[in-house]
Chain A
């Protein structure tokens, strides 16, 4: 068991953040939005990664990071201009750092020459800056020159009282020096006062030292690193190769740090960097759970207090009202903890677009907005795949090649925009491109070919667009392994719906397409319609409900074999009797005396759920059953209502599969078994 495993984990997490920030800055540079601070920030990020890599012995990571860092250093010193192709190289370099880190996370061995081409390119770019270099940069020299030369340094070391105040010991320093080579020391006692005047904590002794060593001047200076402020120090080199004139060593390390104003750093990030702490996700989940329980208990109390008379228990009723308010606020705050900026998902996209576009010979820019919009962590994780897929589609099928675009009067560089924002209590994410849009003739043709719609179906533009969400659909003539085949948009839609979200598509031929995703803020709480079936209560997720009605007997048709359908607005909708599906006794069996809740399912199929009555719309806390039970068909989770009763939350998709039907409403026999 690797004792450093825990630290490595933290390091990898930090690297992810650092790389994300670095790439963000590099993007700014590319757009021309860089400030003086930008280069420093990127340097620091790479420097930190390199440091940690050194701690864990990730040699190749150190190597690549070092090459990148050196180039960045030259750039931030102003010795090298950030030209577009240089910035591209820097991006590729950070990509390769990312790759190495990912490999290390998987505990793979990274070959010594990994990304050698990038390192070469970095060094080459650096070489150009060296020829402009006028100052003799002694640091660079001591790092790059491996030639060992023996030299003698004459050192005068005269400590002041402050040295002892900081618990530094001249003796230890002399010992350190001796580790570097042959040292001869001569104490200068000229300043020693008589004993009765001497102060115990003052410094009176100085040393004249002669050190013969192969170490560099820098190494010698380093020994005095900590005390350089508190002494007089002269280092003279005798016969050393670099032939530097003796210069008194001033604050060696401090002057090399570029002073960073923290205000600058914050503004460079765009959004204010607030203080944050790392918390284990399990702790947060537990908190969310407990708050959920609290809300349920509070709801029960509220309901009980409804039946109390106000005159008899005024303060009790007031107290419970206040409690309900606090519980609601508490819940919102706790939900907010799990909310994270979508930035983490958006961050991977620029690289994706870069690599794909270049592989396909297209010129594409990705513009993101609203990266700081916050969504529940679990939703974010599940967003990654669908988003990736849609962006791939845009790059692969949406945006045309530069020649085509120019010929059509568009700028050769295609634009894909990715945005996120809060809109009326939900998160709306849009992916749009200015490509060629959905080719409706081709879509129609393919759909008919694959038998997904009947040959003579007459569909509106909107309906044609939505055909791409059907399973088994793909218009890629050549199935590129970039976007894959048909597993495409139907899986995306299903994933989005599983999150309680919706997806819509708008497209204009020749101008581009736009996907609009609407997601709930969180998965732990659900907006549902509570319905009664016999003595039981169920909850139907509001996102699936189209409408509810009391059907007229004449609109209900029994189908030969089993089941009933409802005729509504010219289409036939299969009915699912919940009391039959869930085997509930004592429910209303005559649909014309019951309520039919029309729900829409995955493949745009519609079914009608027959229930006794609608109790009301309610926000419920979702409690998972998986911890205690095997999956139950038709049930996705459960909740506890205000009256203390358990209500099962219905999995609409599962109910739909019990009633196979095709998209245009033509029915095959319902096949559900009792």
Chain B
């Protein structure tokens, strides 16, 4: 999934940094600033919700758009993600076009 998203985004001309879980994501983000963060909810070591909370508490990433990937039946998780501070969501499975459309929508 992550590969497919990265692949699609790179193809569309975006620069992409990846991480396997929330913990890694934080280290990756320590070194750079990004325009958009896309995260799954179920991850080992630090899940999506915790990651979003962490990022929103950090001044560097307070205003960075965050998109969460969710499955249709994950209503509860989606709510949690939103109250933690997610900007928007993308429902799995999604088409590459939808992904790009959404990225363009939340990212100036």
> A residues near B, CB below 8 A?
3-4, 6-7, 44, 47-48, 51-52, 54-55, 164-169, 171-172, 176, 225-226, 229, 254, 257-260
Ranked 5 nearest A-B pairs via Cβ: A51-B93, A226-B88, A257-B75, A167-B65, A260-B73
Residue pairs across A and B with CB atoms within 8 Å: the count is: 68
> For residue A261, which residue of chain B has the nearest CB?
B76
Q: B85 near A: Cβ within 8 Å?
A: yes
Q: Among A47, A166, A226, A257, which residue has the most Cβ atoms of chain B within 10 A?
A: A166
CB pair B87–A54 under 8 Å, yes or no, is no
> B residues near A, CB below 8 A?
3-4, 7, 56, 62-66, 71-73, 75-76, 78-79, 82, 85-89, 91-96, 105-106, 108
Given the known interface contacts A55-B96, A168-B106, A172-B105, the answer about A259 and B63 at a Cβ–Cβ threshold of 8 Å is no
CB pair B94–A51 under 8 Å, yes or no, is yes
Minimum distance in angstroms from A179 CB to a CB of chain B: 9
CB pair B86–A166 under 8 Å, yes or no, is yes
CB pair B76–A166 under 8 Å, yes or no, is no
CB pair A167–B93 under 8 Å, yes or no, is no
CB pair A167–B75 under 8 Å, yes or no, is no
Minimum distance in angstroms from A176 CB to a CB of chain B: 6
CB pair A229–B93 under 8 Å, yes or no, is no
CB pair A55–B72 under 8 Å, yes or no, is no
Given the known interface contacts A164-B63, A165-B56, the answer about A55 and B95 at a Cβ–Cβ threshold of 8 Å is yes
CB pair B75–A254 under 8 Å, yes or no, is yes
CB pair B92–A51 under 8 Å, yes or no, is yes
CB pair A257–B73 under 8 Å, yes or no, is yes
Can you give 8 contacting A-B residue pairs, CB < 8 Å? A3-B7, A48-B93, A51-B91, A52-B93, A166-B85, A168-B65, A176-B105, A257-B78
CB pair A166–B93 under 8 Å, yes or no, is no
CB pair A47–B105 under 8 Å, yes or no, is no
With a CB–CB cut-off of 8 A, which chain A residues contact B95?
54-55
> For residue A47, which residue of chain B has the nearest CB?
B72
> For residue B36, which residue of chain A has the nearest CB?
A167
CB pair A166–B105 under 8 Å, yes or no, is no
User: Could you tell me the distance between the alpha carbons of A74 and B89 in the complex, rounded to whole angstroms?
Assistant: 26
Q: Among A44, A169, A225, which residue has the most Cβ atoms of chain B within 10 A?
A: A169
With a CB–CB cut-off of 8 A, which chain A residues contact B91?
51
CB pair B76–A259 under 8 Å, yes or no, is yes
CB pair A169–B88 under 8 Å, yes or no, is no
Partner of A225 from the list B3, B88, B94, B96 (CB cut-off 8 Å) is B88
With a CB–CB cut-off of 8 A, which chain B residues contact A47?
72
Minimum distance in angstroms from B78 CB to a CB of chain A: 7
With a CB–CB cut-off of 8 A, which chain A residues contact B71?
48
Beyond known contacts A171-B108, A254-B75, A257-B72: 13 more, CB 8 A cutoff: A44-B73, A48-B93, A54-B95, A55-B94, A167-B87, A168-B88, A168-B106, A169-B106, A172-B108, A225-B88, A226-B89, A254-B78, A260-B75
With a CB–CB cut-off of 8 A, which chain B residues contact A225?
88
Partner of B82 from the list A52, A166, A167 (CB cut-off 8 Å) is A166
Minimum distance in angstroms from B56 CB to a CB of chain A: 7
Minimum distance in angstroms from A282 CB to a CB of chain B: 19
Q: Among B64, B73, B85, which residue has the most Cβ atoms of chain A within 10 A?
A: B73
Partner of B66 from the list A48, A167, A176 (CB cut-off 8 Å) is A167
With a CB–CB cut-off of 8 A, which chain A residues contact B108?
169, 171-172
With a CB–CB cut-off of 8 A, which chain A residues contact B79?
254
With a CB–CB cut-off of 8 A, which chain B residues contact A257?
72-73, 75, 78
User: Could you tell me the distance between the alpha carbons of A51 and B64 in the complex, rounded to whole angstroms?
Assistant: 28
> For residue A228, which residue of chain B has the nearest CB?
B82
Minimum distance in angstroms from B63 CB to a CB of chain A: 5
> For residue A223, which residue of chain B has the nearest CB?
B105
CB pair A229–B82 under 8 Å, yes or no, is yes
Minimum distance in angstroms from B90 CB to a CB of chain A: 10
With a CB–CB cut-off of 8 A, which chain B residues contact A52?
93
Partner of A226 from the list B3, B62, B92, B106 (CB cut-off 8 Å) is B106
With a CB–CB cut-off of 8 A, which chain B residues contact A44?
72-73
> For residue A163, which residue of chain B has the nearest CB?
B87
> For residue B106, which residue of chain A has the nearest CB?
A172
User: Could you tell me the distance between the alpha carbons of A165 and B59 in the complex, rounded to whole angstroms?
Assistant: 11
With a CB–CB cut-off of 8 A, which chain B residues contact A4?
4
Minimum distance in angstroms from B98 CB to a CB of chain A: 9
User: Could you tell me the distance between the alpha carbons of A166 and B106 in the complex, rounded to whole angstroms?
Assistant: 11
Given the known interface contacts A166-B87, A254-B75, the answer about A55 and B56 at a Cβ–Cβ threshold of 8 Å is no
User: Could you tell me the distance between the alpha carbons of A15 and B85 in the complex, rounded to whole angstroms?
Assistant: 33
User: Could you tell me the distance between the alpha carbons of A169 and B88 in the complex, rounded to whole angstroms?
Assistant: 11
User: Could you tell me the distance between the alpha carbons of A562 and B70 in the complex, rounded to whole angstroms?
Assistant: 76
With a CB–CB cut-off of 8 A, which chain B residues contact A164?
63
Minimum distance in angstroms from A548 CB to a CB of chain B: 55
User: Could you tell me the distance between the alpha carbons of A172 and B73 in the complex, rounded to whole angstroms?
Assistant: 28
> For residue B88, which residue of chain A has the nearest CB?
A226
Minimum distance in angstroms from A321 CB to a CB of chain B: 37
With a CB–CB cut-off of 8 A, which chain A residues contact B63?
164, 167
User: Could you tell me the distance between the alpha carbons of A176 and B107 in the complex, rounded to whole angstroms?
Assistant: 12
With a CB–CB cut-off of 8 A, which chain B residues contact A171?
108
With a CB–CB cut-off of 8 A, which chain B residues contact A51?
91-94
User: Could you tell me the distance between the alpha carbons of A52 and B98 in the complex, rounded to whole angstroms?
Assistant: 12
> For residue B70, which residue of chain A has the nearest CB?
A257
Q: Among A7, A44, A167, which residue has the most Cβ atoms of chain B within 10 A?
A: A167
User: Could you tell me the distance between the alpha carbons of A226 and B65 in the complex, rounded to whole angstroms?
Assistant: 11
> For residue B105, which residue of chain A has the nearest CB?
A176
With a CB–CB cut-off of 8 A, which chain A residues contact B85?
165-167
